[in-house]
Structure 1
Amino acid sequence: MVQGKDIILISNQMLDDRYWTSKQYITMELIKNNRVLYVEANYSFGKLCSGMMGKKWPVVPFGRLQDVTDNLYVLTPYPRLPYRNHFQWIGWLNQKLLLAKIRRAAKKLNFERPILWTFLHQTADLIGKLDESVAIYHCVDDWPERFVINKMGRRSIIKVDESAILEKSDLVISVSPRLLVDYEILKAKYRFIENGVDLNSFSIKDTSPQIPIDMNQISKPIIGFVGSIGDWIDLDLYKHLLFSFPNYSFVMIGLNERQKEIAQINQHPNFYYLGLKPQGKVVDYIQHFDVCLMPFNHSRIAEGLLPQKMFQYFAMGKPVVSTDSSPLKPFKKMLYLAENTEQFVTNIQHALEEDHNKMIDRIEFVKQYSWANRIKLYNNAIKEILN
């Protein structure tokens, strides 16, 4: 077990984001035995202005260093210059500014030979400049594809940046076997480690749970989805399901990145978009789902997904119907995988009729994917690199 270490974890999220991902969960596990400096997302000046105008980006006291709890310190960097993924020199300058801020924070905290653990593809210039004992790049997304789809960068620039951090890192962790396939990575430093699940939060706590207020009037059965509604979600499939099951209720919860399309689908009488829910409340909604969905399309991003939500669904024993893809095939005994729209429809019906024992099987199966067990795998990989 790696313990008694100082760790600088560079995230692309604020620590108190409404919906937690691997960064926050990993941090909470690491601080049990180590000191962690959690470096929050440094939003651009453009997003800062949007926040001031009441948009979705928060306005926070940039530049602060907080002592949050035992072993956990949070650094909120100053806003970065925009267009970092469009022009190499802007990305380089942003890294210089971020490096200076992290150095000051690490010095103030008396960090010694820290582990540098970054989730950002554009942080290669930090490696070797923080007196780190080991540098880890934790890849959780197909950044060249994601940023281009969202019109947030040029593929060539992003791939140059990611190539640089893959070369400089001592350890590379990928959450899906389909990520990073375009790069040559030394096998000795590459580890495929799936996402995990917080078994304490995502569990069946009550056999008769209270129904959230905004689900009070939604009739059963409820077919639910939780997660970001991005370009990798097959909304045409969703429309087909709405017509195929007019007496079923379809609920979506999460960050809506396709507002116009969701607004149109929301006209259907059996569709309910309930917005983005706080982290601690998500489980209350999943508990009332009869079937959980992962309705992905066949885009490059979707084909590489091995999502955290799947493990959360499993932890609550829920039957899951998903579009088929190679990263999901190892879980086919726990999932209902569909190769086409017709099979997706059939699988929803099968999921509603399944035996109760399958719920128990999923709950037992997913225990190996607890964040505590993920940390053991990270620890083993780090020790191998350090040795």
Structure 2
Amino acid sequence: MDPGVSTGEAGPLRGIGDRGADSGGDSGMSDFVFTFTFETYDDAVTRGMNRPPDRLLATLLDHPRVDGLLVANPHRSLLKRGAKKLLGGGDAPFPARERVGLHTPLRLRASDPVDIGGLRAAGQDYDASLRRAAARLGLRTPHVITASPLVAGFAPLDWAASVTYYARDDWTELPARRPWWPGIREAYRQIATRGASVAAVSQQIIDRIEPIGPARVVPNGVEPAEWAGETPAEPDWLATIPRPRALYVGTLDSRLDTAGLRVLADARPELQIVLLGVVGEEAAVASIASVPNIHVRPPVGRAPLVAAIRNSDMCLVAHNRTRLTEAMSPLKIYEYLAGGAPVLSIDLEPVRGISDRVLLTQDVAGFAERLDEALAHGPAREDDRLRFVGENSWRSRHEQILDLALGVRAGVTGDGRS
């Protein structure tokens, strides 16, 4: 089912399957289609447009190389959508304009099938809906950038000028996606064999997909505007926690090495460990919630988060070592460094070489041995902090993804890697 496109002014229905046509003409601009992972534009706005796909979309909406743009939500349930409207619920407004629109394909079922045959059929349905929506916007042979492995693997997209999969996690290791792991593995095989481009946050993800097409490691980044200016006042809730403070930001789930944090808390009782984020798994924090110098705090908005980082004495990447964490480019580590804090992290390949202010240990229990060294670093010099922010901006990351999607080969080796 195809509800059409929300747009400022829909263009006429035009041919979209001619790969010989240049979507940008002579203007140097190109048409694009962007699709989310498993969530929607409304979800992105609700969480503050702060996850990697959200940041990429924000760039695409205001980039000189982007002409027309279709933003597509995943399939959504027709029944749930209707019920939401009947109850007075609405979606976040989308900044539609001529040849820029938002599309939400609808179907009866609420969730993706888990069997591979069902995923293939869903991919074909999604592809057809996407193609019609792109044609209604007047897009010609757009470049598709998708954050969904299922779209990249199972939607044919043979009408697109190129297909780029933006991989921010290895979804075959995420516990919440366990029923879909076989299907996602098959999607990886399809991505690899079809020759799609892959922009991944770590080399580990690229190695697991094994694409035959171009691939590039594009780590996470930071938004410079959020980290400019003098240190903001500490939030009231943080002011009640004495120094020295060690801050962890992120979902509190099985990734968090709670046993190691208890070792650190017991070894250094004067250190106040602050865990800031959604409790994804109650069992993950139950064992440490009563430790006197461990403070579990609910998530906060972007401005209070920035203020918390900039008013902490150090920050932590306190993960268990798993196949999931080994493939991550922890967004938090870039934000910690943007805030000027020294960092203690377990030794994972994606975090090596980011900064000499990141001190590595084999596990979280080993943090205690390097704690004094980390505290001795103190806040970063302001010119060094701002240099790091500028060199690791989201905009610079997104230029690399656009280069990959558009076939700009500078810096790409003969085997398609960079």
TM-score by length of 2: 0.78
Question: What residue in structure 2 maps to residue 144 of structure 1?
Answer: 172
Q: CA separation of 1:219/1:270 partners in 2, compared to 1, >3 Å: closer, same or farther?
A: same
- Equivalents in 2 of 1:79, 1:235: separation in Å? 41
Equivalent runs, 1:343-382 vs 2, <5 Å: 343-354=366-377, 356=379, 360-382=383-405
State the SS of the aligned residue for 1:179. Answer: helix
Letter in 1 for 2:138: N
* Distance in 2 of aligned mates of 1:227 and 1:41: 25
* Corresponding residue number in structure 1 for 2:154: 125
Distance 1:279 1:355 in 2: 23
2:219 is matched with which residue: 163, 178, 194? 194
Q: How many residues align?
A: 372
Alignment equivalent of 2:343, drawn from 320, 333, 336:
320
SS in 1 for 2:145: strand
Counterpart mapping for 1:166-185 below 5 A: 166-185=192-211
Q: Distance in 1 between matches of 2:128 and 2:303?
A: 35
182, 186, 206: which one aligns with 1:160 = 186
The corresponding residue for 2:102 is: 74
Distance 1:80 1:232, change over 3 A: farther
- State the Cα distance separating 1:304 from its structure 2 match: 1.6
Q: Which residue of 2 aligns with 1:206?
A: 230
In structure 2, distance between residues paired with 1:250 and 1:244 = 12
Deviation at 1:80, TM superposition (A): 7.4
1:272 to 295, 308, 311: 295
**Where do 1:1-387 residues align within 5 Å?**
4-12=29-37, 13=39, 14-18=43-47, 20-32=50-62, 33=64, 34=66, 35-42=68-75, 66-68=94-96, 73-78=101-106, 81=109, 84=112, 86-123=114-151, 124-129=153-158, 131-146=159-174, 149-150=175-176, 152-186=178-212, 189-201=214-226, 203-207=227-231, 209-331=232-354, 333-341=356-364, 343-354=366-377, 356=379, 360-384=383-407
1:246 match: secondary structure: coil
Contact 1:254 1:276 in 2 (8 A): yes
Provide the rounded CA distance (Å) in 1 between the counterparts of 2:378 and 2:94.
49
Shift, 1:6, TM fit? 2.0
Distance 1:69 1:128, change over 3 A: closer
AA paired with 1:30? Answer: L
Residues 313-353 of structure 1: per-residue CA shift (max 9 Å, x gap): 11111111100112222235231111244531122222112
> Residues 79 and 245 of structure 1: is their aligned pair in 2 closer, same or farther, counting only changes over 3 Å?
farther
Measure, in 2, the Cα distance between the counterparts of 1:61 and 1:104.
Answer: 24
Distance in 1 (alpha carbons) for counterparts of 2:77 and 2:171: 17
Q: Distance in 2 between matches of 1:61 and 1:79?
A: 19
Q: Could you say what secondary structure the match of 2:208 adopts?
A: coil
What is the CA-CA distance between 1:299 and the residue it aligns to?
A: 0.9
Per the TM alignment, residue 182 of structure 1 is displaced from its structure 2 partner at its CA by: 3.1
Residue aligned with 1:256, SS:
coil
Q: Following TM superposition, by how much is the alpha carbon of 1:141 offset from its aligned partner in structure 2, in angstroms?
A: 0.9
2:260 touches 2:365 (CA, 8 Å); kept in 1?
no
CA distance in 1, matches of 2:147, 2:267: 41
**What corresponds to 1:55 in structure 2?**
none
Aligned-CA RMSD value: 3.2
Q: Deviations over 1:90-135 (max 9, x none)?
A: 3223324433442343233222221100111111332334x21111
Aligned amino acid, residue 33 of structure 2: I
For 1:26, give the aligned amino acid: L
Q: Which of the two has higher C-alpha Rg?
A: 2
Identity, in percent, stands at: 20
Amino acid in the other structure paired with 1:102: L
| Preserved CA contact (<8 Å) 1:196 1:374 | yes
Q: Distance in 1 between matches of 2:286 and 2:176?
A: 19
TM-score of the superposed pair, with normalisation by structure 1: 0.84
Moved more, 284-293 or 83-92: 83-92
Report the counterpart of residue 56 of structure 1 in structure 2.
Answer: none
Preserved CA contact (<8 Å) 1:220 1:248? yes
